[in-house]
């Protein structure tokens, strides 16, 4: 490993330990979900170039800690407030930069070629400097869209609390992807610019492989990088 990589990894260990607890914490070593021991699985969604899914990116423990932080900061004081946005590295919640480091680390550790993010995105600094948290009540989703061009290529979506199906659509195809709590989706290239993504949870249920998904409140966190012209 290169010296800077070792240094970066050490720094990341410290930050992750601060945010998520040390992997030597008794409970961490018992639950087997510590980042240090985690085996991240990456799947390429072959129909959509540049679309990747890591279904087990965040352990249940990490999900709970992030949700608890959102709750204690009271981002969503009433049901009518369903979105929180932060622009600029210095305005991100304390757990977001370490999440970026974990995303980078998980990509570096996997062996697939091409990798889930191409090197020019993976090694940019910072990896992300904008965040949006969305809360969806049962039946709520998001219309088909391509993310605004004020954001660069290379977008990450983390899912919490409820399963849902996200569809990626182009002129002729609709590709469903199951987003389970703790999953991470990465979009770059065609997936980011040429395909729309949407979540349609009405009429109040979604089907995945013949099974009806139980809907409850869902929270997502999207991490992006502001384009040079807007940052
Ligand atoms: O909530 C999600 O999973 C997706 C959010 C999204 O696409 C967006 O904020 O642009
Ligand atoms: Fe989006």
Task: Kindly give the parts of the chain with pLDDT less than 70.
Answer: 1-37, 203-204, 230-231
Neighbours of 210 (CB within 10 A): 5
| Residue 217 CA, ligand 1 centroid: distance in Å | 14
Structure tokens at 176: 């469903």
pLDDT one-digit tens code per residue, 159-191: 999 999 999 999 999 999 999 999 999 999 999
Bridge-based pairing state of the strands 196-199 and 206-208: unpaired
Q: Identify the pLDDT of residue 56.
A: 94
| Residue 10 CA, ligand 1 centroid: distance in Å | 32
Nearest CA to ligand 1 atom 5: 222
Helix (H) or strand (E) holding 190: helix 190-193
Q: Identify the pLDDT of residue 24.
A: 40
| Residue 222 CA, ligand 1 centroid: distance in Å | 6
Place of tokens 């062996």: 111
Structure tokens at 169: 């659509």
Q: Identify the pLDDT of residue 215.
A: 87
Asked if residues 33 and 74 have their Cβ atoms less than 8 Å apart, the reply is: no
Please give the order of strands across the beta sheet that includes 43-44: 43-44, 51-54, 184-187, 155-160, 218-224, 130-136, 83-87
All residues at 6 or more sequence positions from 165 whose CB lies less than 8 Å from its CB, including other chains = 176, 177, 178, 179, 199, 206, 207, 208, 213
DSSP letter at 56 equals: T
Ranges of each domain in the chain: 40-224
Is the pTM higher than 0.90? The answer reads: no
CA distance 36 to 50: 27
DSSP letter at 155 equals: E
CA 94 to chain centroid, in Å, comes to 16
Longest dimension (CA), the chain: 54
3-state secondary structure of 170: coil
Q: Identify the pLDDT of residue 20.
A: 54
Pocket, ligand 1, Cβ cutoff 6 A:
132, 134, 142, 147, 157, 197, 220, 222
User: CATH: 3.40.50.720, 3.40.109.10, 2.40.50.140, 2.60.120.590. Which one for 40-224?
Assistant: 2.60.120.590
| Pocket test residue of 222, 224, 225 for ligand 1, highest count of atoms within 8 A of CB | 222
* DSSP per-residue letters across 78-140: STT--EEEEESGGGS-TTHHHHHHHHHHHHHH---SS-SS-HHHHTSSSS--EEEEEEE-TT-
């Amino acid at each position: 490993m290169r010296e800077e990589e070792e240094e970066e990894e050490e720094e990341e260990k410290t930050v992750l330990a601060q945010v998520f607890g040390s992997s030597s914490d008794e409970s961490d070593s018992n639950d087997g979900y510590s980042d240090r021991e985690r085996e991240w699985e990456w799947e390429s969604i072959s129909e959509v170039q540049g679309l990747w899914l890591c279904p087990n990116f965040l352990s249940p423990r990490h999900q709970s800690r992030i949700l608890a932080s959102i709750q204690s900061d009271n981002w969503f004081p009433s049901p009518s407030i369903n979105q929180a946005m932060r622009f600029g590295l210095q305005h991100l919640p304390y757990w977001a930069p370490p999440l970026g480091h974990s995303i980078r680390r998980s990509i570096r550790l996997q062996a697939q070629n091409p990798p889930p993010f191409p090197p020019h995105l993976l090694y940019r600094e910072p990896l992300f400097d904008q965040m949006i948290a969305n809360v969806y009540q049962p039946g709520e989703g998001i219309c088909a869209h391509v993310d605004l061009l004020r954001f660069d290529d290379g977008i990450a979506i983390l899912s919490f609390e409820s399963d849902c199906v996200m569809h990626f659509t182009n002129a002729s195809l609709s590709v469903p992807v199951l987003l389970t709590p703790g999953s991470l989706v990465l979009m770059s290239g065609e997936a980011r610019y040429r395909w729309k993504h949407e979540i349609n949870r009405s009429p109040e249920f979604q089907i995945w492989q013949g099974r009806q998904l139980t809907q409850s409140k869902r929270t997502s966190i999207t991490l992006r990088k502001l384009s040079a012209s807007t940052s």
